[in-house]
Amino acid sequence: MAIVIDGIIGAGKSTVGEFLSEMLGVPLFEELKDDGKDSLAQRMLDLFYADQTRWSAIIQVMFLNDRFKDLKRIEAEGNRAILDRSIYGDEIFAKTIHERGQMSEDEFIIYRDLLHNMLQHISPPEVLVYIDVTVDTAMERIARRARSTEGDLIPRDYMEDLHRNYELWFEAFDLCPKVRFDLNDSALDENGQVKESVKREIFEAIQPYIQTTK
Please give the Cα distance from 78 to 112 (Å, whole number).
27
Mean pLDDT of the 7-16 span: 89
Tell me which of 70, 84, 132, 161 is the catalytic residue. 84
**What is the predicted pLDDT for the residue at 42?**
80
In b/e form, how buried is each residue of 45-83, taking b as 16+ CB within 10 angstroms?
Answer: bbebbeebeebbbebbbbbbebbbebbeebeeeeebbbb
Mean pLDDT of the 68-87 span: 88
Per the prediction, the chain carries an average pLDDT of 86
Who's near 138: CB < 8 A, 6+ residues apart? 8, 9, 10, 11, 159, 163
Report whether pLDDT(195) > 90.
no
- Residue 181's Cα: distance from chain center in Å? 15
**What is the predicted pLDDT for the residue at 35?**
55
Residue 146: count other Cβ atoms within 10 Å of its Cβ: 7
Contact between residue 202 and residue 129 where contact means Cβ atoms under 8 Å apart:
yes
* Res. 123 pLDDT band, cuts 50 70 90: confident
Report whether pLDDT(34) > 60.
no
Between 25-34, 48-57, 97-106, 119-128, the lowest mean confidence (pLDDT) is in 25-34
Domain boundaries defined on the chain: 7-209
Between 26-30, 116-120, 128-132, the lowest mean confidence (pLDDT) is in 26-30
Mean pLDDT of the 44-60 span: 89
**What is the predicted pLDDT for the residue at 55?**
92
**What is the predicted pLDDT for the residue at 5?**
94
Report pLDDT digits (tens) over 134-164: 999 999 888 887 555 555 678 899 999 999 9
Please give the Cα distance from 97 to 141 (Å, whole number).
22
Report whether pLDDT(131) > 60.
yes
Who's near 118: CB < 8 A, 6+ residues apart? 64, 68, 87
Strand 2-6 relative to strand 178-182, pairing = unpaired
> What predicted TM-score, i.e. pTM, was given to this entire model?
0.87
Report whether pLDDT(38) > 80.
no
Report whether pLDDT(189) > 80.
no
Q: 161 catalytic, yes or no?
A: no
User: In terms of CATH, what superfamily is 7-209?
Assistant: P-loop containing nucleotide triphosphate hydrolases (3.40.50.300)
